[in-house]
Amino acid sequence: MAESPRFLTLTDVAEVLNTSSAQVYALVRRGELPAIKIGGRGQWRVEASKLEEYIEEQYREARRYVETHPFVDTEPLPE
């Protein structure tokens, strides 16, 4: 069984998050998702553990949002 790579390309991260590479690039440039630049062309790489931390933080933020913005169903359910 192959071991998972330590660092992921922005394309790899986009695939994991089911979003676009442009969205991942924006997350990195805004500092929301930690990343490093490597090589002469400055290619971005995200450490797999940092991606997992980011995902966990998004779950925490979603929980806080749901707790502070309860869903109110104004329409009665069909019988």
| Helix, coil or strand: residue 56 | helix
Domains of the chain: 7-68 (1.10.1660.10)
Residue 2: pLDDT band by 50, 70, 90 thresholds?
Answer: low
User: How far is residue 45's CA from residue 38's CA, in Å, rounded to a whole number?
Assistant: 7
**Residues 25-79: tens digit of each pLDDT:** 999 999 999 999 999 899 999 999 999 999 999 999 999 999 999 888 777 767 7
> What pLDDT is stored for residue 38 in this prediction?
95
pTM: 0.82
What percentage of the chain's residues is helix, strand, coil (to nearest 5)? 50, 15, 40
